[in-house]
Structure formats: C-alpha cells, structure tokens
Amino acid sequence: MKVMIIGGTGLLGKALVREWSGDDVLALGSRDVDIRQAARVWEIVQGERPQWIVLAAAYTDVDGCESDPQRAFAVNRDGPANVAEAAKTFGAKLLFLSSDYVFDGKKASPYETGDPRNPQGVYGRSKAEAEVRLLDILPEVCIARTSWLFGTGGKCFPDTILKLAATRPALDVVDDQRGCPTYTVDLARGIIGLCRKDATGIVHVTNSGDCTWFEFACEIIKSLRLETEVRPVSSQQMARPAPRPAYSVLAATSLRRYGIEMPSWKDGLRRYLEERTP
C-alpha cells in the first residue's frame, strides 16, 4: 500500500513515520507541499498516486489562531479541502486529523462522534468547518479526532513541565480543563489500524482515561520522583488568548467498532518518559 503523510514533519507525523512498517510511506512537510496551494497539492497527489493520504498538517498554535484567523482557516480548513478534492480526483482514501476543540466542553460525560460541534475559538472553528467541508467533498473520508498530544520530536506538555521543574520549586497548573492526554506513538498505531481497516466516518482516537492539566503535571512529577510542588489554579488565573473547553473527553465507542483498544494515558506517559530519558 502506498501512503502519503502530509504533516509528516510534525509531532504526530514523526511518530507515524516511525511506527508505520510494511507499506510504502512518503512523509511530506510544508516545504514539500503547502496545502494552501491547490495546484501543488493536485500535482503531488497526481504524481504519487497514494492509496491513503493521512492529513496531519495543521496550524496548531491555538492562541496564534486567535490573532491570525486568516492563516488558521487557510491552513486548517481550506488546505484540507484542497487535499480532499485531489484525493477524490485521484481515488485516494483520506484520513484527516481533527480535534476535541470542535466541542464547547459543556458536557459532563464523554463526547460521542455524533454530538453537535460548537467550537469556542478560532482553531476549533477552523477544524469544525474543515470536518463539514471534507464530509461534503469526500463522504467516505475518515475523520480521526484526537486530543492533548505528547511525544518526542516537538513541543509538548510533559516536556514543558520538565523544563520548568528543572528551574522552579513550584508550578501553577490549570485544574479546570479535563481531557484525554494522548501519546503520539499510540495515536499513530491507532491511525495505522484505521487505514488498514478502511475506516470511514468520524472516529475518536485518544488514550483511555482522562485528567486535568494539573493531574497530568502531578503524574509527570511523581513518575520522575521530582521534588517540584504542583499547585492547582483556574483557567481564569492563567488567562490565555483562546478559550479552551472545560471538558473535552472523547468517548472510545467509535474506535472499538474497529476492534481497536487504546492504552491508558498513564501507560503512554510512562513509555514516553522512558523514550525521552533512556
């Protein structure tokens, strides 16, 4: 099978490249193809003729999206539409990465794939609008929503916590946002499984279990037996430009339909910390 990973230089893209074996995988960064340029997208899909395209490219700076909505919608909504048009024309299957931020966070139980989208910020809106466009262009698209990624090869929450813990005796971490931290290695394996099963429709793919950012930070500090104190604070105390959902736990029901089970986030974190500090 020939697979094209667009966004192959990102946090998830690098894990996909490492984990994907037995198929012919071509990983592309923004220098190879800028998805905002329809003609270039068309050219590369026509030239390579992949059976699957995994679209992991995005403008992922959630706060940056608030100050540059034009870029957010161009990269996160219009770019994916260009890729979907090319996939449709050249008969490629498409798996698109989306986000828990398409939800408003007002639910108190895990979000199912059919729950209504109601994004709160520009990033979430750009992803939600991309989902709608893609389902229209290519109804058999697979949309894999995920959340709170961590892994090697880029900036991520555990990395930030460990850098701060190295220089500060105490850290303030938000305790009123709950979600599912997801190890890029486990997500990559889930995505590969979905492609091999010819998945279509919306699927939620995260590690199992959930926590707040504060609980996540405590687990990181505890795992490495560090002395740093972690203090819970509210989102209001740590004001950021983009609103974040208070609750964005994604239900695993849709993934189980494909016979795929994800490890717990604590297990993922343990393996990440081992990988990071061998």
* Catalytic center residues: 123
CB 163 within 8 A of CB 110: no
Taking CB under 6 A as the criterion, which residues in 91-110 touch ligand NAP? 97, 99
Angle, to 10 degrees, between the axis of helix 265-276 and the axis of helix 157-165? 60
Q: Tell the smallest beta-carbon distance from residue 136 to ligand NAP (Å).
A: 19
The tokens of 136 are what? 């229209």
Q: Is 209 in the site for ligand NAP (CB under 6 A)?
A: no
Total residues in contact with ligand NAP, by rule CB under 6 A: 27
Q: By C-beta, is 37 or 168 nearer to ligand NAP?
A: 37
Q: By C-beta, is 99 or 207 nearer to ligand NAP?
A: 99
Q: Is 230 in the site for ligand NAP (CB under 6 A)?
A: no
102 burial type by CB count under 10 A (0-12 exposed, 13-18 middle, 19+ buried):
buried
Q: By C-beta, is 59 or 183 nearer to ligand NAP?
A: 59
The tokens of 85 are what? 């048009």
Taking CB under 6 A as the criterion, which residues in 152-181 touch ligand NAP? 154
Segment interacting with ligand NAP (CB under 6 A) among 25-33, 210-218, 230-238, 251-259 = 25-33
Q: By C-beta, is 65 or 230 nearer to ligand NAP?
A: 65
In the chain, where do the E strands start and end?
2-6, 24-28, 52-55, 93-99, 142-146, 149-150, 170-174, 178-179, 182-183, 201-204, 211-212, 229-233
Measured between alpha carbons, how far is 68 from 188 in angstroms, rounded to an integer? 29
Q: Tell the smallest beta-carbon distance from residue 170 to ligand NAP (Å).
A: 25
Q: Pairing between strand 229-233 and 2-6?
A: unpaired
Of 193, 97, 207, 196, which is closest to residue 148 (Cα–Cα)?
207
Of 213, 217, 216, 218, which is closest to residue 240 (Cα–Cα)?
213
> Contact with ligand NAP (CB under 6 A): which of 2, 29, 66, 246?
29
Q: Tell the smallest beta-carbon distance from residue 151 to ligand NAP (Å).
A: 8
Q: Is 265 in the site for ligand NAP (CB under 6 A)?
A: no
Residues making contact with ligand NAP (CB under 6 A): 7, 9-13, 29-31, 33-36, 56-60, 75, 79, 97, 99, 146-149, 154
